[in-house]
Structure 1
Amino acid sequence: MVNVKRTIAYHAFFLAFFSLCSGFSSVSGQEGEEVNPKKLFEYHCATCHGEDGNGTKRGHELKVPNLTDPEWQSTKKDEEILNSITNGKNKMPRWSDKLKPVEIRVLAGYVRKLVLKKRP
């Protein structure tokens, strides 16, 4: 019963989150402050993931994924991306100690927008 409630809560959260974040270049945080996902990514993530999501030399040494890879994107659930940012993964630090929940949600949405479009 607890797992069913948890599953429903997760789905409701992600549905609300991605409905809210899709199409916005910045999102309002608490007290009207603007949260710019690109600036957050460049400041906190680009050291390893690169500004475009392809990874840097350091990132490649740490074996970070290419966030622009359509195959990688298709194999990751939204919850996995959010969890990796929140709690860290492998050598990636946990960001829940330094970022607000709204900033983490916005970053997760931004990662989804980094996927390269395949040309026809």
Structure 2
Amino acid sequence: MDDRKRSGVCGVFVLAFFGLFPGFSTVLGQEGEEINPKKLFEYHCATCHGEDGKGTKRGRELKAPNLADPEWQGKKNDEEVLSSIMNGKNKMPRWSDKLKPEEIQALARYVRKLAPKKRS
């Protein structure tokens, strides 16, 4: 199997593992409690990204992206969003040391919902 195919298979595995495919919509925490991704985002991410994902003054100084920007959303695939949350990027900390995989999964899906819906 060449490297591109292997990379694609690994990417699909990661997305499936973290439940980023549509069939894995409910994320449960300890003892079956549903994880609230909005609260997670507000607590861990809003300092830089703002509650709406558009960024704060501090976030802009740190060059945090506007997560609500449809153009940014279009340039990033689910694996990249997940990787940034897990491993950090630039000045953003790695959250895999502080959050559970299911919380990271919930945050990644929440980030995808920050862009305004396209009108048909």
Say if 2:98 is the partner of 1:63: no
Report the counterpart of residue 21 of structure 2 in structure 1.
Answer: 18
Within 2, Cα distance between the matches of 1:95 and 1:85?
A: 6
Within 2, Cα distance between the matches of 1:72 and 1:41?
A: 18
Over the matched positions of the two proteins, sequence identity in percent amounts to 66
After TM superposition, give the deviation of residue 17 of structure 1 in Å: 2.4
Within 2, Cα distance between the matches of 1:30 and 1:17?
A: 19
After TM superposition, give the deviation of residue 2 of structure 1 in Å: 7.7
Within 2, Cα distance between the matches of 1:74 and 1:81?
A: 11
Residues 31 and 60 from structure 1, CA distance in 2 versus in 1: closer, same or farther, beyond 3 angstroms?
Answer: same
CA contact (8 A) 1:55 1:66 kept: yes
Tell me the TM-score normalised to structure 2 length.
0.85
Q: Please, what is the CA RMSD of the aligned residues?
A: 1.9
**CA deviation map 1:65-118 (0-9, x unaligned):** 100100000000110000000000000000000000000011000000000235
Say if 2:75 is the partner of 1:72: no
Query: SS of 2:20's equivalent?
Result: helix
Report the counterpart of residue 88 of structure 1 in structure 2.
Answer: 88
Gaps of 5+ in 2: none
After TM superposition, give the deviation of residue 30 of structure 1 in Å: 4.0
Within 2, Cα distance between the matches of 1:5 and 1:61?
A: 38
**Count of residue correspondences:** 116
Structure in which a larger fraction of residues adopt helix = 1
Within 1, Cα distance between the matches of 2:85 and 2:77?
A: 13
Tell me the TM-score normalised to structure 1 length.
0.85
Report the counterpart of residue 8 of structure 2 in structure 1.
Answer: 7
